[in-house]
Structure 1
Amino acid sequence: MKSPISLVHETPAASPEEARRHFLGKLSVETDPSDVRHDQLTGLDSFLLVDVRAASAYAERHAAGAVSLPYGDISPDSTAGWPKDRLLVLYCWSPACNGAAKAGLRFSELGFRVKEMLGGIEYWQRDGFPVEGSRAGSAPVVG
C-alpha cells in the first residue's frame, strides 16, 4: 500500500529566520482587540483607535474610545489636525471586511503609521469589550 502524502509537508516550512521576518512583518501592521483593550485599561494611549465604517454605523455602535473617520473620507483635509507621530489603529466590521485595509493604505499614503485591528467591531464585541453608541446593545454585529 502506498504511503499517504502529507498535505502539511507538501510545501516545505520556512526557515526560522524566514518565519521570523514573516511574523514580524505581520505584527508590524496588525493587532487584535485584546491587545487594544489591554492598552486602554492600562492607560497606554500611544495610539488612536479609528472606526473606518460609515458614520451611521459608528453612531449606532463602536468600540469604546474610538473616533470615526469613514475610509472614503480620508484625505489631507480630513486628517489635517491629526498627529502623524501617533499610531492609528483601524477597524471595520469583521474579518470579512477590508475597509480597515483600504483605510490603512490611505492613511499610510498620507504619512501616518497604522495597524489594523483584526476582527473589527465583531470580534471586539465577541470578546466582551465595551461598546458605545445609540444602539450599543442591539445594533447588528456585522453590516
Structure 2
Amino acid sequence: MTTTQDRPHATATTVPATDNPVLRVPPADPAAAAAYFAASLAFHADVSDVAAAFKVHREQGGELGFQLVDSRSTPSWDQAHVPGAIHLPTALVPEQAERLLDKSVPVVTYCWGPGCNGATRSALALARLGYQVKEMLGGIEYWIREGFEVETWQGSEQRAEADPLTAPTDSDDCGC
C-alpha cells in the first residue's frame, strides 16, 4: 500500500488497493506496459503530429511519408476535411484502395472523432489488403478543435483559436 508520503499530490487518507477502483486490477509490470504502449504508437498518430508533418512537408518539400485517408461519407467530406487528405469511404476501400493509394506508402485513416470507429474499420480493411496503416486519434473533430485548417465546399476555413481544452493556446507544441 502506498502512503501520501510516496505521492506528493495524494490526499491525506490512504486507500487499500482493493478499495480503489483504479487499482482493483493492478497496473502491468513496466516491461509489459512498455510493450503495450510501443505497440499502441505503432497503430496510432495524433492530429498534432499529422499537422506537424504536413507543415514540414509544405515548408521543406520532399515526401510526406504517409497518405492521409478520410473514411467518412461524401456529405461529411464536403462539410469539412483535412487539406491534403484522400477521400475513401470505408465501404469503398475494397474496390477503390488500389486505385487511390500506393501500397508502398503508409496510410493514416481518420473519421469523425473519438466516438466513431469508422477510422478503425477503414484501417482494418486497408490492413487486410496489405497496407501499412495507422489511425489518427481524435479524427476531424480534434483536427478542428486544435485549430487546424479544413477544406469545405465553400473553401478553406480555420478557427480563430484552438479549443483551450484540447490544445495549448500559447504555443504550437503541447509538450507531449
What is the TM-score when the length of structure 1 is the normalising length? Answer: 0.87
Unmatched 5+ stretches in structure 2: 1-13, 58-62, 158-176
Shift, 1:71, TM fit: 0.3
Matching residue of 1:48: 67
Q: How is 1:91-106 mapped onto 2 (pairs within 5 angstroms)? A: 91-106=110-125
SS at match of 2:119: helix
Matching residue of 2:46: 32
Higher RCO (C-alpha under 8 Å, 6+ residues apart) = 1
SS at match of 1:23: helix
The answer to whether structure 1 residue 129 and structure 2 residue 164 are counterparts is: no
Report if aligned partners of 2:88, 2:97 keep a CA contact under 8 Å in 1. Answer: no
Matching residue of 1:19: 33
Shift, 1:95, TM fit: 0.2
Shift, 1:65, TM fit: 1.2
Matching residue of 1:79: 97
Matching residue of 1:90: 109
Matched length: 135
Shift, 1:52, TM fit: 0.2
What is the TM-score when the length of structure 2 is the normalising length? Answer: 0.72
Unmatched 5+ stretches in structure 1: 138-143
Percent pairwise identity: 37
SS at match of 1:12: coil
Letter in 2 for 1:116: E
Give the counterpart of 2:126 among 77, 84, 107.
107
Shift, 1:83, TM fit: 1.2
Bigger CA radius of gyration? 2
For residues 16 and 72 of structure 2, what CA distance do their matches in structure 1 show?
45
